[in-house]
Amino acid sequence: MPTARETILAALHARLSALAATALRGEVLPERIPPDGLLILRDGEPGEPEVTLSPLRYHYQHRAEIEAVVQGAARDVAFDTLTASIGTALAADRTLGGLCYWVEAEAPRPVDLPVEGAASLKAAVIPVVLHYSTADPLA
């Protein structure tokens, strides 16, 4: 049986997979960027939990990361469209079907990356904070 953390990350990946861009999880950046863009979900860090007693609960503010990458002549518009679609997908259900208390993305810090012999990339890491609780830090 998967842990709460894995279940939540899988639900987030599924939410990203419904977008037009190709969504991967924990993969390396491929040589070719799909025309609609690329999203790579990184598991990130659960951080140090707050602990409550009676009943014992571990409350996490897990920071996952989404790497968003687009390529092409209209990359500024494509990047804006891609990041807006991520925001819309997360806002549609901030609890990922009741798995989290709250899911919230932080603003991206885009960078342009030159590629020799090809169109430049526009990319950013988008931190996503997942608020959830578990009865055991390993569960």
- pTM score of the predicted model: 0.94
Q: Mean pLDDT, consecutive 10-residue segments, the chain of 139 residues?
A: 95 98 96 94 96 95 98 93 97 97 96 86 97 93
pLDDT at 96: 98
Residue type, 70: V
Bridge partners, 118 (sequence order): 115
pLDDT of residue 42: 98
Task: Kindly write down the DSSP assignment for every residue of the chain, as one continuous string.
Answer: ---HHHHHHHHHHHHHHTSSSEEEESPPPPSS--TT-EEEEEEEE--PPEEETTTTEEEEEEEEEEEEEEESTTHHHHHHHHHHHHHHHHHH-TTTTTTSSEEEEPPP--EEEEETTEEEEEEEEEEEEEEEEESSTT-
Helix axes 75-92, 4-17, angle to 10 degrees: 130
Q: Which domains, and CATH codes, for the chain? A: 4-134 (3.30.2000.10)
* Best CA proximity match to 44, nearest among 58, 20, 60, 22: 60
pLDDT for the residue numbered 73: 87
Residue 13: predicted pLDDT: 98
pLDDT at 76: 94
Short-list 38, 119, 41, 42, CA closest to 82: 38
